[in-house]
Amino acid sequence: MSRPPLDPECLGLHVPTPRADAIRVDWAKSLPRADRLRVRGHTCACTYPAFELCTAAGLWFVRRLPAKGLGDIVESAWTSASATEELWLQIVTGRAR
């Protein structure tokens, strides 16, 4: 469940509460599959779950970071930049969860 930012002045990227018809992302448990991982975008860490747009080994994916103690870090399928950017846009606009 997304919450509004604790600080209304917070300028980070905040994910709205997903819409009722939001697509369910096929999240899988995050496993260390590549030596180097770059985070290209992230939502504000003031709210959970937080999301990171990541690239590794030439592929892109989104990681979902739960609040501490509330489950595992999970990630979307590793795929192309364009497919992952579309998924990222859907997540940050509440159209995918």
Report the interface residues with Zn ion, using CB under 5 A: 5, 10, 12, 44, 46
- Cβ proximity to Zn ion: between 9 and 35 the closer is 9
- Residue 88's SS3 state is helix
At closest approach, how far in Å is the CB of 54 from Zn ion? 20
At closest approach, how far in Å is the CB of 4 from Zn ion? 9
Long-range contacts of 65-73 (CB under 8 A, 24+ apart): 72/29, 72/30, 73/29, 73/30
- Cβ proximity to Zn ion: between 4 and 71 the closer is 4
